[in-house]
Amino acid sequence: MGIKKLVFSGVQPTGNLHLGNYLGALKNFVSLQKEMECIYCVVDLHAITVFQKPNELRNNVLETVAGFQASGLDPEKSIIFNQSSVPGHAELAWILNCIARIGWLNRMTQFKDKAGSDKEKASVGLYIYPNLMAADILLYKATHVPVGADQKQHLELSRDIAQKFNKDFNCKNFFPLPEPLIPKKVSRIMSLRDGTKKMSKSEDSDYSRINLKDSADEINKKIKKAKSDSEEIPDNLKNLEKKPEALNLINIYSEISKISLENVLNEMSGKEYSYLKTKLAELLVSEITPVGKEIKKLLGDKSHLEQILKKGKEKANIIAEENLKNIREIVGLI
């Protein structure tokens, strides 16, 4: 009998969901929900690895659930819940802290990026964040994990941890090795201000990202101000290699319009970037503003969002407890 396919992924409730989350993760979540059993988690324990104001955190959890639903996730089809409501995540994370090696964590580039220059001052939680992520996935024995390219390294670590656990405890195939599902074309949406950095919720400048809740006016302004290039749009991708901001805008246009990169260049080469920006802003307004309006509408009924979390928690906890029972036994915990 083959392994049962199960999808797991998480989103941090750290602020406004943006175009990177939408194209890199949420759209993928929605299409997978049609094919497989899916578990989508608002990862609040990950969020607190960096200080969060308690009231903002509570609101952001609900807002993330609203973002899930507004993007097309159906709580009747997918399990939607918040991480801290299922205690098994923290318990398994501890066990996996004892499996993962310090050398493995030292190689994680996201810690280096997020901790900045003074690593001594970063929280211990931020350092062991990838072990908690492995626990999130392995707690459900998930086989597929839709993520943006920024999470590829963490996924590889989750596979290493699963493999070492299976080997150390002589329980071959107990944990399946989770496969990353990374969108091929838009694996990484970059900042509108600096094309070498990914679009991110925690970036200071709001002009660096398109938020799902942005109005048509804000989207138009942000795209108009986005960094591009003073030369004309070229006719081949090679000429965009050293122009990450311009490439990013073209990539986003290609993804949303569903026109291949080559055809976008065929259509636009020789034109100024203002031409692309006008068309891109139009597309973004028609794709993103309905999602934003739906998020705002859903936030008007918080009890509905809390109810989604409550039902999701109950379903998730059943799977988690069943797996944890076996994990405790394998490890020798009474």
Residues of the shown chain interacting with ligand AQP in the complex, contacts defined by CB under 6 A: 11-12, 14, 20-21, 24-25, 147-148, 150-151, 188-189, 198-202
Distance CA(20)–CA(8), nearest Å, equals: 19
Among 5, 114, 197, 311, the active-site one is: 114
3-state secondary structure of 145: strand
**How far is Cα of residue 171 from the mean position of the Cα atoms in its chain?**
31
CB 111 within 8 A of CB 129: yes
Among 27, 141, 198, 222, the active-site one is: 198
Respond yes or no: is residue 221 known to be catalytic.
no
DSSP 237-268: GGGGTT-HHHHHHHHHHHHHHT--HHHHHHHH
Respond yes or no: is residue 114 known to be catalytic.
yes
> 10 Å Cβ neighbour count for 226?
23
CB 44 within 8 A of CB 84: yes
Among 5, 152, 197, 201, the active-site one is: 201
Distance CA(111)–CA(131), nearest Å, equals: 12
Please give the positions annotated as active site.
114, 198, 201
